[in-house]
Structure 1
Amino acid sequence: MVMVPVRDGQSLSVRVIGRGRPVLLLHGLGMSGAHWLPFVLPHLHRHRFILPDLRGAGASADVPFKPGDIFRAHAEDVQDVIAGLGLRDLTLGGISLGATTALHLLSLDGFGPVRRYLHIDQSPCIGNRPGWPHGLFGARQDEMFARMREVLALVGEHPDCRRLAELPAPVRQAVGDRLAPVLAEMAGGAGLHSALRVVFRLPAALLGRMPVPFSDLGHLRRYLPAYLSGGHDYRPALAACTVPVTVMLGAHSPLYAEAGQRLIAEHHPRSRVVRFEHSGHVPLKDEPLRFARELGRFLRED
């Protein structure tokens, strides 16, 4: 683990392992760089993997978020990691939030030293709009976004609370009632909705010891507005992208429609789509053996 300084004076924790051509992999929301380890270990003899923990995650959990757009902030941090480690001739990959971060990096100034890109289950345009029904949650976006706005309003009434467990019990339960369907949809677990509602009703002392999603209210306050804005549309940047893109998508992703994800690979003749027939939003979890094989194939193509 190395500490890489970023432009606002903070430092990110970054795992650097292996030797050979550099591969920078960006994790999703609720994950950390460590989630890549089981899949990259067989390839350490041919590739040097750079696995940052983004702000608020893993060993970078205590790094404060920068003001402004959270996706731009993450993309700027990635720029600083690339510059700080002197990375050249780079392969880049990202899943979910990590993929959005990568696309934001593309929109800032192109991919720069990136020569190939691996994109895993993320839409190139988060908000639905005329002619684009493939944003976050697809046809259910209005319903889910309404729940997310209610959560923000409830949390906003208690600005001094930093943790979920610090909210008054009735407010915490109300947040759980609205947030549980959203989290269950994100995780793709049919029985998770009811279980999460129970968790949000646990005593504060017990809840504070559990790894509950968004238990840090700072995450809710930063990520929910970014998704709700719906203003991030990376299709123009992708249309100008000059590097080949491999898209890995879950055929049963509850978050992003397959049709929208396939568009990401349309603009380069060497791009391709890998469809995980039995996966939801996270093929790493749903089909780990096949994901390991496909990642190996992607790396060998280098």
Structure 2
Amino acid sequence: MPLHVTARGEGEPVLLLHSGGMSSRQWRKLGDALAPTHRVLAPDFLGSGENPPWPADEPFHFHQDLEAVGELLSGLEGPVHLAGHSYGGLIALALARTAPSKIRSLAVYDPVAFGVLYDTLDPEGLENLSRATAHPLFSDDAQGGSDAWFEVFVDYWNGAGSWRAMAPSAQEAFLRVGRKVYLEVSTLMKDRTPLSAYATIAAPSLLLFGEHSPAAARRLVTLLGTAIPNATVQAVANAGHMGPITHAGAVNAELTRHILAATAGRGA
């Protein structure tokens, strides 16, 4: 199924992958910064943004988004700069390790590649992750994607009370794609890709996490930095998991610097 893609600018291609429940619009400001020098492509994942809604009764696995973005990647000429946040970061990592020759540079923020924590038996990361997975609603197929499920999910990532503090319009936007988000999460939580698999990523890589992101995200990114040969690990001060939105200026500045340096051949 082809994805809706927002494209602008000319030059080396940059592929921007949004987080679960959001859309390509989350990268609008970064696109503004890169479009004068690069061809910026921001796809909406299946069931998101301008794509048709994912049917509530239709099964889904995150590999379907991976395949759809992989088709887009394979149709682009030359190596691509790849960036992703959260769920988009997981897809970006998977593309970078399975098609390393296609990637000019990689940048991810809090990617949800939790197989790394299970592979390394990281105690801090796994203990923190269990705060979400141990809740009975987290894996409840009947309520997955509902208001009650999002309260558990959003509060894990952003702190207690975060879901209820959202504006009703923002809650409604998440609930419209809620079932798809639940299916993304339920399948990625079963992923057990080991840390060693990411050693195939040869491109200069910027691995970002929020200073106040959950420990599972911070540990995951730190571990990835030990496996990816040409990686820089960096915390974004005062930011949490939604740093690309709440601290867009700081995050976008780092992503732009990284992409421009890789374009000029200066590495990470």
TM-score normalized by the length of structure 2: 0.82
Judged with a 3 Å threshold, the aligned counterparts in structure 2 of structure 1 residues 261 and 134 are, in CA distance, closer, same or farther, namely farther
CA contact (8 A) 1:123 1:256 kept: no
Structure 1 contact 24–50 (Cα < 8 Å) conserved: yes
One-letter amino acid matched to 1:192: S
Given the alignment of the two structures, is residue 48 of structure 1 paired with residue 39 of structure 2, yes or no? yes
2:123 counterpart residue number: 133
Q: 1:295 to 1:139 in 2, by over 3 A?
A: same
Q: Is the 8 A contact 1:18 1:44 kept in 2?
A: yes
Change (3 A) 1:235 1:285: same
8 Å Cα contact 1:121/1:256 also seen in 2: no
- Kept after mapping to 1: 8 A contact 2:60/2:180: no
Percentage of pairs with the same residue: 22
Q: Which residue of 1 aligns with 2:109?
A: 120
The alignment's C-alpha RMSD in Å is 3.2
- For the residue of structure 2 that corresponds to 1:78, the secondary structure is helix
Kindly report which structure 2 residues correspond to 1:195-274, keeping only aligned pairs within 5 A, or say none: 195=165, 211-216=172-177, 218-219=179-180, 222-229=183-190, 231-254=191-214, 256-268=216-228, 270-274=230-234
Q: Structure 1, unaligned stretches of length 5 or more?
A: 1-9, 157-162, 165-174, 200-206
Matched residue, 1:74: 65
Q: What amino acid maps onto 1:180 in structure 2? A: E
- Looking at structure 1, the residues matched to 116 and 85 of structure 2 have their Cα atoms a distance apart, in angstroms, of 18
For 2:162, the equivalent position in structure 1 comes to 192
**Residue 278 of structure 1 aligns with which residue?**
238
Measured at CA, do residues 267 and 32 of structure 1 come closer, stay the same or move farther in structure 2, by a change above 3 Å? same
Distance 1:216 1:124 in 2: 21
The Cα offsets for residues 81-108 of structure 1, whole Å up to 9 and x where unpaired, read as 1233x3322111111001111222245x
Moved more, 86-95 or 249-258: 249-258
Q: Is the 8 A contact 2:117 2:220 kept in 1?
A: no
Partners of 1:182 and 1:210 in 2: CA distance = 13
Structure 1 residues 223 and 292, CA gap change in structure 2 (3 angstroms): closer
Quick one: higher RCO (CA 8 Å, sep 6+), 1 or 2? 2
Residue pair 1:104, 1:234 contacting (<8 A) in 2 also:
no
CA apart distance, 1:189 = 4.3
Match of 2:266 in 1: none
- The 2-side partners of 1:143 and 1:219 are apart by 22
Q: CA deviation at 1:282?
A: 2.0
Deviations 1:118-138 (A, max 9, x none): 111124434753622365xx4
With 263-272 and 11-20 compared, the bigger mean Cα shift is at: 263-272
Please give the alpha-carbon distance, in whole angstroms, between the structure 1 residues aligned to 2:54 and 2:138.
27
Q: Which amino acid aligns with 1:254?
A: P
Say if 1:221 and 1:91 are closer, same or farther in 2 by CA, change over 3 A: closer
Q: Does 1:155 align with 2:143?
A: yes
Task: Give 1:77 shift.
Answer: 0.7
* Number of aligned residues: 261
Q: Secondary structure at the match of 1:62?
A: coil
**1:49 counterpart SS class:** strand
- Equivalent residue in structure 2 for 1:145, among 129, 133, 138: 133
Of the two, which has the highest radius of gyration?
1
Please give the per-residue CA displacement for 1:155-203, whole angstroms capped at 9, x wherever unaligned.
38xxxxxx85xxxxxxxxxx62x541332222x144325547x97xxxx
Q: Mark the CA change 1:145 to 1:127 in structure 2 (over 3 Å): closer, same or farther.
A: farther
Distance, in Å, in 1 between the alignment partners of 2:46 and 2:4 is 9
